[in-house]
């Protein structure tokens, strides 16, 4: 009992300071949350427009699609419809994410209007190893996905990176990060497409 009393006598200032700093951090986070979300939304639109350059606007088509990412875990994503100047659908874009080598990798993935071909991906956030895993942001790797069919992608350590097909050649020295991108896309693409079809937005109902 004396030890506990002594502990509180000696550490009360630290406890109070920790509590106050915690409150300040929570308040700052709440105050900046709207700005953080807006910045992420702006980055999403910028990345999506790079992959769908003919898009005049992006509108939310389906919200909160549940994606099974394995091991009993699920993620929610919302799909945006890319519209031309005459309001025709020219593609779709949505966020997807999964585990990388160092941390979570968050992508913006774009596909064509029929959900048949990948239009590319952009990196929304990533902390992969500089000079190795962070090469997933570079065009020589990302270009392999542009025009690839919406079907299961396969990662290969060798092959022709200029040939557009379902085989993706890994980044030398960064196989884990390369596989992470392929796995993320393989997890999200079929499940999102299935939900879009069920809504009648593509396929027979599109």
pLDDT at 6 over 60: no
Q: What is the pLDDT of residues 115-159, one digit of tens each?
A: 999 999 999 999 999 999 999 999 999 999 999 999 999 999 998
| pLDDT number for residue 16 | 65
pLDDT at 12 over 60: no
| pLDDT number for residue 40 | 77
DSSP category for residue 203:
G
Please name which of 183, 189, 184 lies closest in space to residue 79, comparing C-alpha atoms: 189
Average pLDDT, integer, range 92-109: 95
| pLDDT number for residue 4 | 60
* Total length of the chain: 206
**Residue 70: band (very low, low, confident or very high) from pLDDT cuts 50, 70, 90:** confident
For tokens 């997933």, name the residue.
136
Whether 69 contacts 187, CB under 8 Å: yes
6: buried, middle or exposed (CB in 10 Å: 19+, 13-18, 0-12)? exposed
| pLDDT number for residue 116 | 96
| pLDDT number for residue 30 | 60
| pLDDT number for residue 189 | 96
pLDDT at 25 over 80: no
**Residue 51: band (very low, low, confident or very high) from pLDDT cuts 50, 70, 90:** very high
Please name which of 32, 184, 199, 194 lies closest in space to residue 108, comparing C-alpha atoms: 184
pLDDT at 188 over 60: yes
Does pTM surpass 0.85?
no
Q: What is the mean pLDDT of the chain?
A: 88
């Amino acid at each position: 009992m004396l030890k506990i009393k002594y502990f509180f006598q000696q550490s009360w200032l630290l406890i109070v300071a920790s509590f106050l700093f915690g409150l300040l951090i929570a308040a700052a986070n709440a105050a900046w949350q709207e700005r953080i979300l807006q910045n992420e939304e702006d980055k999403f639109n910028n990345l999506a427009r790079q992959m769908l350059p003919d898009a005049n606007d992006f509108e939310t088509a389906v919200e909160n699609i549940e994606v099974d990412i394995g091991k009993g875990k699920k993620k929610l994503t919302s799909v945006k419809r890319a519209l031309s100047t005459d309001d025709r659908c020219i593609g779709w874009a949505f966020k997807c994410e999964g585990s990388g080598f160092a941390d979570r990798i968050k992508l913006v993935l774009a596909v064509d209007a029929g959900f048949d071909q990948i239009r590319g991906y952009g990196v929304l956030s990533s902390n992969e190893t500089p000079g190795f895993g962070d090469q997933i942001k570079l065009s020589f790797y990302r270009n392999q996905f542009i025009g690839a069919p919406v079907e299961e992608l396969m990662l290969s350590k060798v092959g022709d990176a200029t040939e557009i097909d379902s085989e993706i050649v890994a980044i030398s020295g960064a196989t884990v990060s390369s596989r992470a991108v392929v796995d993320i896309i393989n997890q999200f693409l079929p499940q999102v497409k299935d939900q879009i079809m069920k809504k009648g937005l593509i396929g027979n109902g599109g």
